[in-house]
A and B are shown apart, each in its own frame.
Chain A
Amino acid sequence: MNIHEYQAREVFRQHGIPVPPGEVATTPEGAEKIAAELGTGVVVKAQVHAGGRGKAGGVKLAATPGEARAAAEKILGMQIKGLTVTKVLVSPAEEIEHEAYVGAIVDRSNGAVVLMASPEGGIDIEEVAAKTPELIYKESVDPRYGLLSHQASRLAYKLYAGDASRARQASDIIQKLYASMLDAGASLIEINPLITTKSGELKAIDAKMNIDDNELFRRSEIAELRDVEAEAPEEVKARAQGLTYIKLDGNVGCCVNGAGLAMATMDLVKYYGGEPANFLDIGGSSSPEKVVTALQIITSDPAVKSILFNIFGGITRCDDVASGIVEATKEIELSVPITIRLTGTNEDEAVKILEAAGFSAMTEMDEAVQKAVELAKN
């Protein structure tokens, strides 16, 4: 789960990381009011789950409350990577001497959290990694002991060699950043940039945090930060039913059991000259109700011209899926053709259920995909 910058800043603030003041507005008037209260020049920043906000024009400086209003007018409603901006963060414009980067991620190859720091802040860290990898310093955290303070200090003195005041501040911030990560259940956490002000103070200007979805069951205060408005409504609906749905740009709607098989099915659609409309995994124990929801979601996408079911029964029982399809088509008027492939557990029962309702079923994945792609062209 992604959370917004203003929410991540709040987590930082609670952990004692220096963060400038600022508030969120949903209207230009609101932005104007916040700017007036702050009484300084401000920066107005789009709050959206997409990178590259600055390049897209989603971050603007404003010297007066009137300018803040004008900036918010431009940014609110703007599309950034397909997502509509509904909130802006209004925060004092800082006088920046230097921009650094600090962050932490779960490094899967190492099986450890890795802290990273770079004096080249303010830009995409992947760009730094590609162009000047020697300017990224790393410390791997042994999960048995957690982050040791000398590790934070070592990173800090690499960032600010010869400047003990800033190094001490940075060491403290790095330890608090790691604590924030553990407390929020984040799999990625970044301050970019960590600025130095004219007076030599360090401040976290931008805050990014990806929360591990698997943490949400035990962190209700973090789960509440989910901004449902910032997500596609079908994805929200799917999640409520325990399905994973991701909308794509094609016209062949796919409904598959298992994430790997779902991806392989999408790839096969492309292989046969089609374009998948979505990723949809109905999971292991697929009750008929899940199948009904899945079909509702797929058919709500007007681009879908053909629907493909691909089920390999193991835990998933083919007859459950078949019943779900029959059930769903009683509730939903299908205006596009449906191609069903199922094989494995209770396949024969499934075929009987489907045939009794006037559907036919296939057993080979490739044949079914080819047929679904053909049907989408009509």
Chain B
Amino acid sequence: MAIYADSNTRVVIQGITGRDGSFHTHHMMEYGTNVVAGVTPGKGGQKFEGKVPVFDTVEEAVRKEGADASVIYVPAAFAASAICEAADSGIELIVCISEGIPVLDMLRAARYVTDRGARLIGPNCPGMISPGKAKLGIIPGQIVEEGPVGVVSRSGTLTYEVVWALTSAGMGQSSCIGIGGDPVIGTDFVDCLDAFEGDPQTEAIVLIGEIGGTDEQNAARHIKEKLSKPVVGFVAGQTAPPGRRMGHAGAIISGSSGTAEEKIAAFRANGVEVAERPVDMPEIVRRALNG
């Protein structure tokens, strides 16, 4: 098992002929992901790398190839529309890698996805990987290993750092999900926590947060109320100054809220152990797994 995507997931790539799209599709296929179609309007009829059919619309990819998940690599200006198109075409899982989508566009796109019963991961995220099964996005395949730890994170390379530390210490992962660094995202920490809770492969969960917003605080309360599996937290940005956007559009301390301190305190108050450094994570997870 794993969450959200596995070897049966039939993936369509929106923006498959673009620079980023083609590069990452190649790596997704190399990893063994079941990529069944690509979409680039105006390029329908082509084949990607001689085998994957390219369509003009997602609707065709669903009808002809049975795609049920989509990964989006289109430029920011068209990404919100791509998300809506996927949801409207019956795609169940939409992973949007694109960054730089205007937040006012995302408010509508996120609501549109929810109204159609689809799940959105991202935008502005590294996507997800279920080790040994499927990679939907850009998380490097060589740093993961199949195993019992579920990983959910708002970050990209920081996730790789932690995942690699876990893998190096002999602890593989069930699924790794990067939920994205924007203020408005689809799937959040609480959604992923619930999915990991219900996944028999997952025995412990690693949650990597950062400054900005209240997602971590909500997650902390949810863990105490609803989760039986152990969760280990980490929060980046203890040295970040208030009022400055630390790269991610969502990573900004506004007024006195959204600080790393506040989030760490919320985790601890709800019985969630917090790693002080990424390097401490494997030992804490090991104890959690053995506990």
A312 and B138 alpha carbons, distance in the complex (Å): 13
A182 and B208 alpha carbons, distance in the complex (Å): 33
B102 touches A185 (CB 8 A): yes
A187 in complex: contacting residue of B103, B156, B248, CB < 8 Å: B103
Which listed segment binds A: B106-114, B195-203, B224-232?
A: B106-114
Q: In chain B, what residue has the closest Cβ to A276?
A: B239
* Chain B neighbourhood of A142, CB < 8 A: 111
Q: Chain A contact residues (Cβ within 8 angstroms of B): what range?
A: 35 or more
Which B residues, 80 to 118, have Cβ-Cβ distances below 8 Å to chain A? Answer: 100-104, 107-108, 110-111, 115
B181 touches A259 (CB 8 A): yes
B108 touches A259 (CB 8 A): no
* Chain A neighbourhood of B184, CB < 8 A: 106, 108, 111
Is B194 part of the binding interface, using a Cβ–Cβ cutoff of 8 Å? no
Supposing A113-B107, A214-B101, A264-B158 touch, asked if A246 and B241 sit within 8 A by C-beta, the answer is yes
Q: Chain B contact residues (Cβ within 8 angstroms of A): what range?
A: 35 or more
A312 and B140 alpha carbons, distance in the complex (Å): 11
Q: In chain A, what residue has the closest Cβ to B183?
A: A108
B138 touches A218 (CB 8 A): no
A259 in complex: contacting residue of B143, B155, B160, B260, CB < 8 Å: B155
Q: In chain B, what residue has the closest Cβ to A126?
A: B255
B158 touches A214 (CB 8 A): no
Is A109 part of the binding interface, using a Cβ–Cβ cutoff of 8 Å? yes
Supposing A244-B247, A248-B239, A270-B239 touch, asked if A111 and B156 sit within 8 A by C-beta, the answer is no
Is B211 part of the binding interface, using a Cβ–Cβ cutoff of 8 Å? yes
* Chain B neighbourhood of A260, CB < 8 A: 153-159, 181, 208, 210, 236, 247-248, 251
Q: In chain A, what residue has the closest Cβ to B257?
A: A126
Supposing A215-B104, A263-B246, A314-B138 touch, asked if A269 and B77 sit within 8 A by C-beta, the answer is no
A106 in complex: contacting residue of B107, B153, B256, B277, CB < 8 Å: B107
* Chain B neighbourhood of A215, CB < 8 A: 102, 104
Closest 9 CB pairs of A and B: A260-B155, A259-B247, A258-B157, A260-B158, A263-B236, A261-B157, A263-B237, A143-B107, A261-B158
Between-chain CB contacts (< 8 Å), 27 pairs: A106-B183, A108-B250, A109-B213, A109-B214, A113-B107, A142-B111, A144-B108, A182-B104, A212-B104, A213-B249, A214-B100, A214-B102, A214-B103, A214-B249, A218-B77, A246-B244, A246-B246, A256-B157, A258-B155, A259-B156, A260-B155, A261-B236, A264-B278, A267-B238, A269-B239, A314-B156, A315-B138
